Amino acid sequence: MSQNSKKTPSRRTFLTSAALVAAAATTGAASATAAAQTAASDVGAVWWSELQTADPVRARAFYAAVMGWTPKVVALADQTRAPEAGEKEYTLFSSESREVAGAAQAEAAPGSTPEALWLTYIQVANVDLAALKAVELGGKLLEAPADVPNTGRIAVIEDLEGVRVALITPVTAASG
């Protein structure tokens, strides 16, 4: 998979879906207008993969050893810097100096165990329309479409077999 930096923002600006839930989501025509146009050649492509894990330290060691990835721990809220004490972390995995995936602490309701999973983000031309289509076809909307600053518009759906996948219309260099 090739990543064209002219068409997608740096993965460093990416926020996890857990952060998305916590972020203030905008709705309506303004946010739909804010969603960037996506190049037709990128629609349907895997845009990002993110591990949500109960044990980020153990996951970093595992994927570094198995995949040869280099983990870099950054602040979840500002991935241009290291996290400060008590601040939520995000792991950027790199291969040959190219960011290839991310990892974050899985969130769970009090008293329950967080579910570990890989969440794949697939690029679509219009997140709102794709999420609506998924529901029309019998899928479920797990996280409503919302804007993530400097990243794009994201939604999380569940397919007909209960598999989660994220949809994204990334901000383009021209619109971001």
pLDDT of residue 118: 96
In eight-state DSSP terms, residue 12 is G
* pLDDT 10s digits, 7-24: 334 443 444 444 444 333
CATH topology of domain 11-107+114-170: 2,3-Dihydroxybiphenyl 1,2-Dioxygenase; domain 1 (3.10.180)
Which tokens sit at 169?
């219309």
Q: Of 164, 137, 128, 140, which Cα lies nearest the Cα of 18?
A: 164
pTM as predicted: 0.74
Q: Of 52, 41, 45, 64, which Cα lies nearest the Cα of 19?
A: 52
Which tokens sit at 6?
């002219």
* pLDDT 10s digits, 54-86: 999 999 999 999 999 999 999 988 889 999 999
Tokens 């794009």 -> residue: 152
Beta strands in the chain (DSSP E): 46-53, 70-75, 89-95, 98-105, 117-123, 140-148, 152-158, 164-170
